[in-house]
């Protein structure tokens, strides 16, 4: 069997990463037969070796399918006289006869492949043949491939819910600027809202509880929502012109005192949402098993709970990640049945509460909470998904929770 082996030139950087994202392709990958005719869409890739040992630097050219599986290409040289199909990441459609064969590497180890395809044809998937993809946390981007963004709310993003994502006459992906879309974008309000509010002693707005009003100052308690949401209020004294914040979205500025009321300017910045998502490597329940939350993509199948509380399959409508600073902390929740979860304090539980509002002894997903601690989170991003269905609920590490994307 002929498998093309290309010596890796370390200085030239010929060896490339095996785990890059597979580009979109116009046709789904079929169910793999035991043997026989097959057509696979995917990208050219170096075949990985079995086991957890170090990968040596030779590159056996093969195919990484849209299903994430690797395939040897038995007679690629017959179709690749100019080495066109030796370029890593090249999107292709390969057709031929599949067989469940093993491939040995020069060092005697086996390549980790599903099998081998004896090619009858192979062709590049041209950019113009690929459909445009709607991406971004709020579905606000129309591009040639999936793009992940931070989770920021802007009112104009709602305009794209009914807009068309297509290629233009220059073959570039973009939103079709209909009159309806133009008008919607023109009339959308700013993502930052400012208003005046009046508070009396004992009243609360956002994270700030006003306790005492004086002639030119106020005192109260501030309940931080970020980087750690907590039920403990911290003493604050505000003079005229001074501010207090929940740590992310809302800022209150004391502007004046009127008899027994304090007047604040409330600034709400929707571009600064409090991180309220799951920790990396949280396992999500799926009909096919479990998968880390950061690996899920729009279109994947997961389990959700319907309005009656029954477990049903659902499609992931949105998959998002939110950047967090090095100071970010997450809540470590432990239940009496040993289930546990690492999650940002502002994440919704699904019954109107957030994680930050829970205490030891409270009930979560039918079981008593035996421990809640806040721990440092160095991973850089938190993650969330939105399943289809009435509730948006899903199981994270076996615990039923809500979604921040609903």
* Conformational region of residue 170, where left means phi above 0, alpha means psi within -120 to 50, and beta covers everything else: alpha
The pair of structure tokens assigned to 291 is 């998968």
Q: Which of 276, 268, 271 is nearest to 207 (CA)?
A: 268
The pLDDT-based confidence of 54 (bands split at 50, 70, 90) is: low
The better pLDDT of the pair 50, 14 is held by: 50
pLDDT band at 159 (very low <50, low <70, confident <90, very high): confident
> If you average pLDDT over residues 243-271, what whole number do you get?
87
Rounded to whole angstroms, how far apart are CA atoms 107 and 201? 77
- Per-residue pLDDT reduced to its tens digit, 90-139: 888 999 999 988 888 887 888 899 999 999 999 887 755 568 888 776 67
Q: How far is the C-alpha of 252 from the C-alpha of 244, rounded, in Å? A: 5
Between 33-42, 124-133, 147-156, the lowest mean confidence (pLDDT) is in: 147-156
If you search the block for the tokens 């030779």, which residue do you land on?
Answer: 58
Instruction: Using pLDDT thresholds of 50, 70 and 90, give the confidence band for residue 14.
Output: very low
Sorted by sequence, the CB contacts under 8 Å of residue 259 that are 6+ apart come out as: none
Predicted TM-score of the model (pTM) = 0.41
- For 109, 125, 230, 396, 397, the CA distances from 368, given in Å and listed in that order, are 50, 53, 19, 17, 16
Element (H, E) at 369: strand 367-376
**Whole-number Å distance between alpha carbons of 358 and 355:** 6
H helix or E strand, kind and range, residue 314: strand 311-323
Q: Report the distance separating Cα 288 and Cα 185, nearest Å.
A: 40
Would strands 59-65 and 70-73 be described as parallel, antiparallel, or unpaired?
antiparallel
Whole-angstrom CA distances from 295 to 316, 321, 343 are 12, 11, 17
Report the C-alpha gap between 340 and 333 in whole angstroms.
5
* 3-state secondary structure (DSSP) of residue 293: helix
C-alpha separations of 311 from 227, 287, 315, 341 in Å: 33, 10, 13, 20
Count the Cβ atoms, other than its own, within 10 Å of residue 328.
21
Q: E strands, 178-295, where?
A: 192-199, 204-205, 208-213, 217-222, 234-239, 243-245, 250-258, 261-269, 283-286, 289-292
* 276-332 pLDDT per residue, tens: 689 999 999 999 999 999 999 999 999 999 988 899 999 999 888 876 766 677 889
- DSSP characters over 30-57: PPPPSEEEEEEEEEEEEPPBSSSSPPPS
Across 138-207, the runs of DSSP E, i.e. the strands, are 141-143, 165-167, 173-175, 192-199, 204-205
pLDDT tens digits, one per residue of 349-366: 888 788 877 889 999 999
Least confident of 12-16, 88-92, 147-151, 288-292: 12-16
Q: Which two tokens stand for residue 327?
A: 């100071």
d(CA 291, CA 28): 21
**Structure token pair of residue 124:** 């590049």
Residue 360 DSSP label: T
The mean pLDDT of 156-176, rounded to a whole number, is: 82
What distance lies between CA 238 and its chain's CA centroid? 39
What φ, ψ does residue 374 adopt, rounded to 5°? -110, 125
Please report the pLDDT score of residue 103 as a whole number: 86
Q: Structure tokens of 145?
A: 């491939």
Enclosing H/E stretch for 364? strand 363-364
Q: Do residues 140 and 147 lie in contact, with contact meaning Cβ atoms separated by under 8 Å?
A: no
Q: Do 238 and 254 touch, CB atoms closer than 8 A? A: yes
227 cis-preceded (ω within 30 degrees of 0): yes
pLDDT of residue 303: 96
């Amino acid at each position: 069997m002929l498998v093309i082996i290309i010596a890796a030139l370390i200085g030239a950087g010929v060896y490339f990463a095996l785990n890059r994202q597979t580009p979109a392709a116009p046709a789904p990958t079929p169910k793999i037969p035991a043997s026989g005719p097959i057509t696979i869409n995917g990208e050219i890739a170096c075949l990985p070796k079995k086991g957890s040992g170090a990968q040596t630097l030779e590159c056996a050219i093969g195919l990484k399918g849209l299903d994430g599986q690797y395939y040897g290409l038995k007679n690629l040289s017959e179709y690749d006289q100019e080495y066109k199909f030796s370029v890593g990441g090249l999107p292709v459609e390969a057709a031929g006869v599949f067989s469940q064969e093993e491939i040995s590497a020069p060092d005697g180890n086996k390549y980790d492949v599903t099998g081998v395809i004896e090619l009858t044809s192979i062709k590049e998937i041209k950019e113009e043949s690929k459909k445009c993809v709607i991406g971004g946390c709020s579905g606000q981007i129309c591009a040639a491939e999936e793009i992940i963004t931070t989770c920021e709310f802007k009112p104009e993003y709602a305009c794209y819910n009914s807009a068309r994502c297509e290629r233009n006459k220059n073959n570039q992906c973009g939103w079709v600027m209909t009159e309806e879309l133009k008008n919607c974008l023109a009339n959308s309000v700013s993502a930052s809202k400012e208003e005046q509010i009046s508070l009396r002693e004992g009243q609360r707005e956002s994270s700030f509880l006003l306790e005492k009003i004086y002639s030119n100052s106020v005192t109260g308690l501030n309940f931080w929502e970020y980087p750690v949401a907590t039920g403990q209020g911290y003493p604050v004294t505000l003079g005229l012109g001074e501010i207090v914040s929940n740590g992310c979205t809302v800022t209150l500025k004391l502007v004046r005192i009127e008899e027994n009321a304090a007047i604040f300017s409330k600034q709400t910045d929707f571009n600064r949402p409090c991180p309220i998502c799951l920790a990396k490597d949280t396992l999500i329940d799926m009909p096919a098993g479990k998968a880390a939350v950061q690996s899920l993509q729009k279109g994947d199948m997961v389990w959700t709970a319907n309005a009656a509380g029954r477990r049903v399959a659902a499609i992931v409508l949105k998959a998002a990640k939110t950047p967090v600073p090095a100071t970010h902390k997450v809540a470590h929740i432990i239940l009496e049945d040993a289930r546990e979860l690492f999650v940002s304090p502002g994440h919704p539980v699904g019954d109107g509460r957030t994680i930050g509002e829970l205490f030891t002894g409270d009930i979560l997903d039918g079981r008593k909470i035996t421990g809640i601690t806040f721990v440092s989170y160095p991973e850089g991003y938190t993650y969330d998904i939105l399943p289809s269905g009435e509730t948006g609920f899903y199981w994270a590490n076996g615990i039923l929770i809500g979604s921040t994307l609903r």
